[in-house]
């Protein structure tokens, strides 16, 4: 089972064990898993908890209010409580329902939120959090749209983007899979983006990884435009490292989840292809989609490297007209 855990998720369990030992508990409880998620610092779960101003000091204080520190007793590897085992079962179920073939920190947090009678849940409530709101924030960070009419959320498989047969986003007609519209080069870009995300030990595919994938692909329209602006892969990677820190060494399995911004880029790319009367989505459309949002990491990288987004856009269109 633990083969599916990312290194970050495994680290959380190790940190939970350390936290239990720190207060001389003879077991790993949900409260220690929560502390492990906070201590890990760089995963999806840690970032969501940071957004709610949950830090290690506050969480530890709350644990101490509920549970006593016991007399010193050394046990190298502590057993998990039945509640923790349930949390891990929930985490596996959450990953499965989201069509993820790995267990990350986000799934552990989702699993933790489902055990409403646990010490961890009580701690979050005591800190002023609503468990459903935290759950929604995790799903939002994974690009999962939370229906406005739903007060609570249940796990739902992430649906692939779809377009209509006549090429019109949101129009009438029979839906088809987005993959059917991508050229082989565009599909390769998304695969390379996944590889770049794993190279930086990130648990998601962001706009910065798509930009790296576009340049790494080498032969498409987008790669040639980026070459024209003297953007090579080492420069882009260096800029990514300056803006987005590398995560701790992890083993990510299969396809990583895209961020909402990355999903939006693909939606924009489909629109760009439609406006240009192109039947398929190529690397040029992905780059055009990337240039439409100035608030992304990819846009910031291009700006930091001295480029104007509108100039890059004009160069793409000029290349297509040539």
Q: What is the pLDDT of residues 77-133, one digit of tens each?
A: 788 888 899 999 999 999 888 888 888 899 999 999 998 888 888 888 888 889 889
pLDDT of residue 286 exceeding 60, the answer is yes
The answer to whether residue 62 sits within a structural domain is: yes
Give the pLDDT score at 74: 54
Tell me what percent of the residues of the chain surpass a pLDDT of 90: 34
123 lies in the same domain as 24: yes
- Check whether residue 102 and residue 231 sit in a common domain: no
- Confidence check: pLDDT of 75 > 60: no
* pTM (whole model) above 0.85: no
Residues 211 and 136 in one domain: no
- Shared domain check, 98 and 186: no
CATH number for the domain harbouring residue 301:
1.10.1780.10
Last residue of a domain, one of 95, 116, 141: 141
Q: Is residue 214 part of a domain?
A: yes
**Does residue 165 lie in a domain region?**
no
pLDDT for the residue numbered 70: 57
Domain boundary among 97, 122, 141: 141
Indicate the pLDDT class of residue 2, thresholds 50, 70 and 90: low
- The pLDDT of residue 72 is 58
**Is residue 108 located within the same domain as residue 207?**
no
Q: What percent of the chain has pLDDT over 70?
A: 82
In this structure, the dihedral spanned by the alpha carbons of residues 204, 210, 216 and 220, taken in order and rounded to 10 degrees, is: 150
Indicate if the pLDDT at residue 242 is higher than 70: yes
101 and 211 share one domain:
no
State the average pLDDT for the chain. 81
Greater pLDDT, 3 or 172? 3
pLDDT at 288: 96
Q: Could you read off the pLDDT of 117-146 as tens digits, one per residue?
A: 888 888 888 888 898 899 988 888 776 544
pLDDT band at residue 32 using 50, 70 and 90 as cut-offs:
very high
Say whether both 308 and 187 belong to one domain. Answer: yes
More confident residue, 290 or 170: 290
Residue 116 placed within a domain:
yes
- Considering the domain architecture, whether residues 216 and 121 belong to the same structural domain is answered as no
Provide the pLDDT for residue 71: 58
* Phi, psi of 77, deg, nearest 5: -120, 120
Residue 263 lies in a domain: yes
- Picking from 136-145, 191-200, 298-307, which range would have the lowest pLDDT averaged per residue? 136-145
Whether residue 181 is found in the same domain as residue 303: yes
Chain centroid, CA 319 distance in Å: 33
Confidence of residue 34 (pLDDT cuts 50, 70, 90): very high
Question: pLDDT confidence of 21, banded at 50, 70, 90?
Answer: confident
Average of per-residue pLDDT across 268-278: 91
Q: What is the mean pLDDT of residues 41-49?
A: 86
Last residue of a domain, one of 94, 126, 141: 141
Domain that holds residue 289: 176-321
pLDDT-based confidence at 211, cuts 50/70/90?
Answer: very high
Q: Which residues contact 56 (CB under 8 A, 6 or more apart)?
A: 35, 38, 39
- Same domain for 88 and 187, yes or no, is no
Number of domains in the chain: 2
Judgement on whether residues 187 and 127 belong to the same structural domain of the protein: no
Where are the alpha helices (H) located in the chain, listed in sequence order? Answer: 7-22, 30-40, 44-51, 56-66, 82-97, 105-114, 119-126, 131-141, 184-199, 207-217, 221-228, 233-243, 260-275, 283-290, 297-304, 309-321
Domain check: are 136 and 227 in the same one?
Answer: no
């Amino acid at each position: 089972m633990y083969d599916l855990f990312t290194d970050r998720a495994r680290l959380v369990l190790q940190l939970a064990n350390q936290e239990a030992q720190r207060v001389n508990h003879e077991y790993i409880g949900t409260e220690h898993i929560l502390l492990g998620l906070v201590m890990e610092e760089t995963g999806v779960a840690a970032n969501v908890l940071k957004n709610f101003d949950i830090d290690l000091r506050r969480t530890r204080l709350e644990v101490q209010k509920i549970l006593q520190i016991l007399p010193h007793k050394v046990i190298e590897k502590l057993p998990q409580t039945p509640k923790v085992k349930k949390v891990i079962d929930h985490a596996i179920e959450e990953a499965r329902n989201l069509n993820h073939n790995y267990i990350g920190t986000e799934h552990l947090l989702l699993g933790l939120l489902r055990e409403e009678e646990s010490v961890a849940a009580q701690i979050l409530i005591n800190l002023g959090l609503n468990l459903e709101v935290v759950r929604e924030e995790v799903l939002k960070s994974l690009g999962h749209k939370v229906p406005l009419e739903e007060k609570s959320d249940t796990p739902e498989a992430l649906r692939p983007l779809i377009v209509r047969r006549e090429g019109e986003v949101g129009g009438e007609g029979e839906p088809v899979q987005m993959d059917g519209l991508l050229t082989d080069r565009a599909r390769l870009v998304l695969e390379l983006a996944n590889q770049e995300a794993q190279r930086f030990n990130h648990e998601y595919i962001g706009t910065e990884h798509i930009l790296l994938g576009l340049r790494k692909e080498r032969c498409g329209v987008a790669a040639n435009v980026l070459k024209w602006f003297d953007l090579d892969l080492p420069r882009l990677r260096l800029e990514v490292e300056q803006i987005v820190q590398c995560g701790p060494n992890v083993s990510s399995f299969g396809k990583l989840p895209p961020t909402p911004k990355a999903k939006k880029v693909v939606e924009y790319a489909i629109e760009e292809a439609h406006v240009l009367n192109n039947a398929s989505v190529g690397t040029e459309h992905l780059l055009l989609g990337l240039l439409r949002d100035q608030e992304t990491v990819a846009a910031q990288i291009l700006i930091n490297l001295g480029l104007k987004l509108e100039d890059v856009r004009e160069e793409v269109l000029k290349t297509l007209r040539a």
